[in-house]
Structure 1
Amino acid sequence: MEVSKIIIGYFIYIPIAFMLTIYVSKTLFKNSLVYMNDIFSGREEISTATNTLFKTGFYLLNIGFALLILKIKLHNDSYQLLIEELSFKIGKFSIYLGCMLFLNLFFFFRGKRKAKSTSKKITDKNVTI
Structure 2
Amino acid sequence: MDFAVVSYATYLPIATGVTVWVARTLGRNGRIFLADVFAGDDRLADAVNQLLVVGFYLINLGFVALWMRNDQSITDLQGVFDALSYKLGTVLLLLGVMHLGNVYVLNRIRRRGSLDKQHRPPVAPQAFLYPGQA
Which TM-score band (shorter chain)?
Answer: 0.7 to 0.9
Label 1:101 to 1:76 Cα distance change in 2 as closer, same or farther (>3 A). closer
**Residue 22 of structure 1: aligned partner:** 20
What is the alpha-carbon distance in structure 1 between the residues aligned to residue 39 and residue 56 of structure 2?
24
SS at match of 1:71: coil
- 2:9 counterpart (8, 11, 23): 11
Q: 1:75: how far off?
A: 3.2
Q: How does 1:89-128 map to 2 (within 5 A)?
A: 89-121=87-119, 124-127=120-123
Give the equivalent residue in structure 1 for 2:57: 59
What TM-score results when the alignment is normalised by the length of structure 2?
A: 0.84
Go from structure 1 to structure 2 and tell me whether the alpha carbon gap of 1:5 and 1:76 turns closer, same or farther (over 3 Å shift): closer
Structure 1 runs not aligned, ≥5 long: none
Percent identity for Structure 1 against Structure 2:
29
Confirm whether residue 79 of structure 1 aligns to residue 89 of structure 2. no
1:5-54 deviation per Cα after TM superposition (whole angstroms, max 9, x unaligned): 11111111111111111111122222211121112221111110110001
1:41 alignment partner in structure 2: 39
Higher helix share: 1
The aligned amino acid for 1:79 is L
Contact 2:38 2:44 in 1 (8 A): yes
Larger Rg over CA atoms: 2
- For residue 79 of structure 2, give the secondary structure of its aligned residue in structure 1: helix
**Total equivalences in the alignment:** 125
Q: Could you tell me how far 1:68 is from its partner in structure 2?
A: 1.3
Cα distance in 2 for partners of 1:33, 1:67 equals 28
Taking structure 1 as the reference length, the TM-score comes to 0.87
In 2, distance between residues paired with 1:48 and 1:75?
46
Q: 2:45, 2:34 → 1: CA distance?
A: 5
Cα 1:87–1:50 change in 2 (3 A) is: same
Task: Give 5+ residue unaligned stretches, structure 2.
Answer: 125-134
